[in-house]
């Protein structure tokens, strides 16, 4: 009797783990199954590197270069804005702030990291975009700059929270040794604390990258949506995620356009898989206790 | 020496400036949502359905829809997530299988939410024929939440000292008894905290439900798992991008955003408070 209960319990745990693995396999299968048929129509080179996204013309064009670059530009812009602000804030909170301020700042950042992205999107489309249009006297405020700015604001709490954790877990003895040798506060931060927390900081940046490139709602609402390589930061762009979200409603299941959107998802999946893999490799030594 | 001191002052001022700019951005963001959302909020806004093609009325169906989607997603995800973590921490053998499962979980955690949406559409909506429904949407959200729940549960179980399970095993308890009577109760507060945080995440997701569950407009509440539902995050998006009366839709969008914001912050704050309370109370 006791044996049966043991076995059942173990079997349930085993099946649950199997189910988890099956989920990932199903995701990969689902995306590839519906995306790969596109490549009977167009070579993967033409899909990735030509710039003619005209999915509803006849004959249709499925060159996704502008969409891929759109994702990269927006992500790059977001990181340029977010990195100095989030790392600077993390250093301040971990190294300079009084313990009282730190006690408040930590949970506030965690709460900010949990705000749904559609709320940031609303802020962008209803407030920031009209403002930016006015300030720079543009035709539209829905452009690369605005979406990078909002995406940047959105990833700040994520990068800040994780890199702050990494810095504050650096042992105090390292700081004290540095200060005792006559180093100033900033020298201690740059030459002792940051090198010791390097792994966590890189991990936080990669996580921010993954979050920014995979974000859909903000770019869908704010990036403007023109499938072009932007000539300036004030031109609209169309990242991969917003293309999928915006166009999926117009497709018929199984047609080429539908396949093409899944092919974009394959590209996204591969990019995030590799950024994850790098994180994994960077973090691995930590796990082998 | 003076140059070094000057440099030091410069950098410290820079860091302070970065924090002030960051805080400034976030304050403008929050204040904007609150100041434009608050005038719309009322008891009626919460308990009434939308009227006049979304230009009047409240958000009741969206609120209920989000609640149902989140609750169902948790019902699907929690048991399998917790049992996966139990397998990883107590049964996991051989080691390479554990490593592979860890890689799988971390890969899943990094997949963009729109891909979960596409997957849900391809598998649940089309292949299995669940249609655009509460069921398809909550299954999609459950898979999205799974890696978060597994990681949190695993950490929670690891934070229980090994002495506990060793003592229990030494007394002759089986592995199952040790897990369910010793390790699990000790890890429960942390498991709960993790679960609450994933509730907050799931409630705010838009992209995964766009093609699997959400509908722009429905006057009635869902009657079965096969029905489409309204949801708070999708409602905000739809109000801003569809419909023809922006002047009356934008305020409703702000009101909806404020409700969603309050909900998510309340959920997350509960988790943070439980966690800090438990840390203080913990005896080990």
The verdict on a CB contact (< 8 Å) between A111 and B80 is no
CATH at B213: 1.10.3720.10
pLDDT of residue A213: 93
The verdict on a CB contact (< 8 Å) between B204 and A114 is yes
The verdict on a CB contact (< 8 Å) between A187 and B123 is no
pLDDT at A64 over 70: yes
Least confident of A112-116, A249-253, B81-85, B259-263: A249-253
pLDDT of residue B280: 78
Q: Is residue B31 part of a domain?
A: no
For chain A, give the mean pLDDT: 89
Asked if B113 is an interface residue toward chain A (Cβ–Cβ < 8 A), one would say: yes
pLDDT at A264 over 90: yes
Residue B153 is part of which domain span?
44-48+57-281
Q: Is residue B21 part of a domain?
A: no
Asked if A36 is an interface residue toward chain B (Cβ–Cβ < 8 A), one would say: no
d(CA A170, CA A164): 10
Asked if A3 is an interface residue toward chain B (Cβ–Cβ < 8 A), one would say: no
pLDDT of residue B47: 84
Q: Is residue B24 part of a domain?
A: no
Asked if A278 is an interface residue toward chain B (Cβ–Cβ < 8 A), one would say: no
| Interface list for B 186-205 with A (CB within 8 A) | 197, 200-201, 203-205
Q: Check if the beta carbon of residue A24 is closer than 8 Å to that of residue A10.
A: no
The verdict on a CB contact (< 8 Å) between A6 and B116 is no
pLDDT of residue B219: 67
Neighbours of B132 (CB within 10 A): 22
d(CA A239, CA B174): 54
Q: What predicted TM-score, i.e. pTM, was given to this entire model?
A: 0.91
pLDDT at A99 over 60: yes
- Return the residue in B79, B104, B115 with the most chain A beta carbons within 10 A, the one to mutate for interface testing: B115
Residues of A in contact with B240 (CB under 8 A): 121-122, 125-126, 221
- Return the residue in A35, A118, A150, A211 with the most chain B beta carbons within 10 A, the one to mutate for interface testing: A118
Asked if B139 is an interface residue toward chain A (Cβ–Cβ < 8 A), one would say: no
d(CA B240, CA A157): 25
Residue A24 is nearest to which of B11, B15, B104, comparing CB atoms?
A: B104
pLDDT of residue A230: 82
pLDDT of residue A112: 87
Among A250, A245, A244, residue whose Cα is nearest residue A262: A244
In this structure, what are the phi and psi dihedrals at residue B92, rounded to the nearest 5 degrees? -40, 100
Give me the numbers of helices (H) and strands (E) for chain A, helices first please. 14, 2
Q: Which residue has the higher pLDDT, A77 or B241?
A: A77
pLDDT digits (tens, 9 = 90+) for A184-217: 999 999 999 999 999 889 989 999 999 999 999 9
| Interface list for B 212-241 with A (CB within 8 A) | 233-234, 236-237, 240-241
pLDDT in tens, chain B (284 residues): 688 889 999 999 999 999 999 999 889 999 999 999 999 888 888 888 887 766 777 888 899 999 999 999 999 999 999 999 999 998 888 888 998 999 899 899 999 999 999 999 999 998 898 888 999 999 999 999 999 999 999 999 998 888 888 999 999 899 899 999 999 988 988 898 889 989 999 999 999 999 898 887 776 778 788 888 899 999 999 888 887 777 788 889 999 999 999 999 999 888 888 888 877 777 66
| Interface list for A 111-150 with B (CB within 8 A) | 111-112, 114-123, 125-127
Q: Give the Å distances, CA to CA, from B44 to B32, B48, B58, B214, B261.
A: 22, 6, 6, 23, 18
The domain A65-287 is placed in CATH, from the list 3.20.20.60, 1.10.3720.10, 3.20.20.70, 1.10.240.10, at: 1.10.3720.10
pLDDT of residue A288: 41
Q: Check if the beta carbon of residue B79 is closer than 8 Å to that of residue A16.
A: yes
Q: Is residue B35 part of a domain?
A: no
Asked if A6 is an interface residue toward chain B (Cβ–Cβ < 8 A), one would say: yes
Helix, coil or strand: residue A224? strand
Chain B: closest CA distance from residue A123 (Å):
7
Chain B: closest CA distance from residue A117 (Å):
8
- Nearest residue of chain A to residue B98 (CA atoms): A17
Proportion of chain A above pLDDT 70, given as a percent: 97
The verdict on a CB contact (< 8 Å) between A112 and B26 is yes
Q: Is residue B149 part of a domain?
A: yes
pLDDT of residue B37: 92
Residues of A in contact with B12 (CB under 8 A): 96, 185-186
The verdict on a CB contact (< 8 Å) between A118 and B236 is yes
Domain count within chain B: 1
DSSP 8-state assignment for residue B89: I
Q: Check if the beta carbon of residue B211 is closer than 8 Å to that of residue B133.
A: no
The verdict on a CB contact (< 8 Å) between B101 and A89 is no
DSSP codes, B18-57: HHHHHHHHHHHHHHHHHHHHTTT--HHHHHS-EETTTTEE
Residues of A in contact with B201 (CB under 8 A): 114
pLDDT at A289 over 80: no
pLDDT at A287 over 50: no
């Amino acid at each position: 009797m006791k044996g049966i209960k043991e076995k059942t319990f173990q079997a349930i745990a085993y099946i649950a783990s199997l189910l988890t693995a099956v989920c990932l396999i199903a995701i990969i299968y689902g995306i590839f199954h519906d995306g790969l048929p596109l490549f009977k129509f167009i070579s993967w080179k033409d899909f990735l590197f030509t710039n003619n996204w005209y999915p509803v013309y006849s004959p249709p064009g499925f060159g996704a270069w502008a969409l891929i670059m759109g994702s990269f530009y927006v992500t790059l812009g977001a990181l340029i804005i977010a990195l100095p602000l989030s790392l600077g804030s993390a250093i301040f909170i971990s190294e300079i702030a009084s313990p009282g301020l730190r006690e408040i700042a930590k949970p506030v950042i965690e709460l900010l990291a949990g705000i749904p992205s559609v709320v940031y999107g609303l802020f962008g489309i209803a407030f920031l975009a009209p403002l930016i249009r006015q300030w720079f006297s543009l035709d539209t405020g829905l452009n690369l700059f605005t979406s990078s700015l909002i995406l940047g604001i959105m990833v700040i709490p994520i990068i800040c929270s994780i890199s702050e954790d990494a810095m504050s877990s650096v042992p105090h003895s390292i700081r004290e040794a540095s200060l005792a040798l006559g180093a100033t506060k900033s020298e201690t931060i740059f030459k002792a604390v940051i090198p010791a927390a390097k792994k966590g900081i890189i991990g936080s940046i990669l996580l921010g990258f993954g979050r920014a490139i995979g974000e859909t709602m903000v770019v869908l609402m704010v990036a403007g949506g023109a499938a072009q390589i932007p000539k300036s930061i004030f031109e609209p762009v169309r990242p991969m995620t917003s293309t999928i979200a915006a166009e999926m409603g117009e497709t018929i299941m199984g047609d080429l356009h539908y396949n093409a959107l899944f092919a974009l998802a394959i590209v996204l999946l591969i990019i995030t898989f590799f950024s994850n893999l790098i994180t994994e490799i960077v973090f691995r030594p930590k796990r082998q206790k | 020496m003076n140059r070094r001191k000057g440099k030091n002052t410069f950098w410290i001022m820079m860091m302070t400036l970065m924090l002030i700019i960051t805080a400034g951005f976030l304050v403008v963001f929050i204040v904007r949502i609150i100041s434009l959302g608050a005038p719309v909020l009322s008891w009626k806004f919460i308990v009434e359905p939308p009227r006049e093609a979304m230009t009047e009325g409240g958000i009741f169906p969206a609120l209920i829809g989000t609640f149902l989607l989140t609750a169902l997603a948790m019902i699907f995800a929690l048991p399998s997530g917790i049992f996966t973590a139990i397998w990883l921490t107590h049964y996991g053998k051989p080691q390479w299988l554990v490593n592979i499962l860890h890689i799988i979980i971390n890969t899943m955690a990094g997949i963009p939410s729109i891909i979960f949406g596409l997957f849900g559409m391809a598998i649940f909506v089309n292949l299995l024929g669940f249609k655009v429904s509460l069921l398809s949407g909550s299954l999609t959200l459950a898979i999205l939440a799974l890696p978060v729940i597994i990681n949190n549960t695993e950490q929670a179980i690891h934070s229980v000292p090994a002495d506990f399970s060793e003592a229990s095993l030494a007394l002759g308890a089986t592995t199952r008894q040790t897990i369910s009577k010793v390790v699990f109760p000790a890890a429960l507060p942390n498991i709960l905290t993790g679960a609450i945080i994933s509730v907050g995440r799931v409630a705010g997701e838009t992209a995964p439900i766009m093609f699997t569950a959400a509908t722009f407009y429905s006057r009635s509440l869902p009657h079965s798992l096969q029905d489409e539902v309204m949801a708070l995050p999708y409602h905000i998006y739809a109000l801003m991008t569809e419909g023809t009366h922006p002047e009356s839709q934008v305020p409703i969008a702000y009101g909806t955003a404020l409700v969603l914001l309050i909900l998510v912050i309340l959920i997350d704050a509960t988790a943070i408070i439980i966690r800090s309370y438990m840390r203080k109370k913990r005896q080990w």
